[in-house]
Amino acid sequence: MQHVVFNQKGGVGKSTITCNLAAISAWQGLRTLVIDLDAQGNSTRYLLGADPDEDTPNGAQFFEQSLKFTVRDRGLADFIVSTRWEGLDLLPSSPLLDELHGKLESRHKIYKLRDALAQLAETYDQVYIDTPPALNFYTRCALIAADGCLIPFDCDDFSRRALYALLDNVAEIRADHNPDLRVEGIIVNQFQPRANLPQRMVQELIDEGLPVLQPYLGASVRIRESHEQSLPMIFLDPRHKLTQEFVALHDALR
């Protein structure tokens, strides 16, 4: 199963959700791959503990080779690295992704990721793709390659307004490029159950028939500690309430 975590609004928790769901997959014994397509590299730092050095393979190298006239491109597996946790691998990000964006788009390389992942179908049980906060070449690549789209939502009015355009964009990708793509659901993040606004916003989404997933992910300072220590919650504090919410959300998606 290939999941793309996507929202055109920044700061909604895409990297946090990507890495924590992936870590739980690996913890449960599933062969899991994280693909970091965001040039900011938050998922990469979260899982590796630091920015990769110059010798570390990365996604920019994978895409860059498609712009060169070679007899045979190297497969995606050549650019994947292991993390410190068994069963959890990573295609690291690179700042060069931004530099390559225009060239890749003009050369119509939009199906490269889909085709490369098809060759790894027997290697991984779960793939989680972290995307930039924009509908650009890389997010389109991810949506074309994925089976399902997970949409983080942070109970903010701006996020809600962006949600409708996002759903339209996913529908367009489905119609034009990937008929198997489906919206797996909206992940409510940083939820505060005692505040009226988040409760009302989420209920309005449900009343509109949108696929809001449960459980909602609560707000906790522990997640900041998780970022600082580069330890997904399942490895930092398995018994924490937020960790258990991530586990329940992961299991609801299987």
What pLDDT does 172 receive? 96
At 173 the pLDDT is 96
Per-residue confidence (pLDDT) for residue 87, from 0 to 100: 97
Supply the mean pLDDT for the chain. Answer: 94
What span, in angstroms and rounded, lies between the C-alpha atoms of 249 and 191?
Answer: 14
pLDDT of amino acid 196: 87
Distance (Å, whole) CA 207 – CA 5:
23
Q: Which amino acid is at 71?
A: V
Number of domains making up the chain: 1
Q: How far lies 221's CA from each of 32, 73, 225, 228, 240, in Å?
A: 27, 44, 7, 11, 11
Query: What's the mean pLDDT in 120-131?
Result: 97
For the stretch 192-208, pLDDT in tens is 888 888 899 999 999 99
Q: Side chain identity at 155, as an amino acid letter?
A: C
Distance CA 235, CA 27 (A): 9
Read off the tokens for 230: 């580069």
The token duo for 201 is 């916003």
Model confidence, pTM = 0.96
**pLDDT of amino acid 52:** 82
Q: Write out the residue range of the structural domain in which residue 193 sits.
A: 2-253
The domain that holds 13 is classified in CATH as: 3.40.50.300
d(CA 85, CA 231) in angstroms, rounded, equals 10
Q: What is the pLDDT of residue 71?
A: 54
Q: Is the pLDDT of residue 122 over 70?
A: yes
Q: What is the pLDDT of residues 70-79, one digit of tens each?
A: 657 789 999 9
User: Quick one: tokens of 79?
Assistant: 């650019």
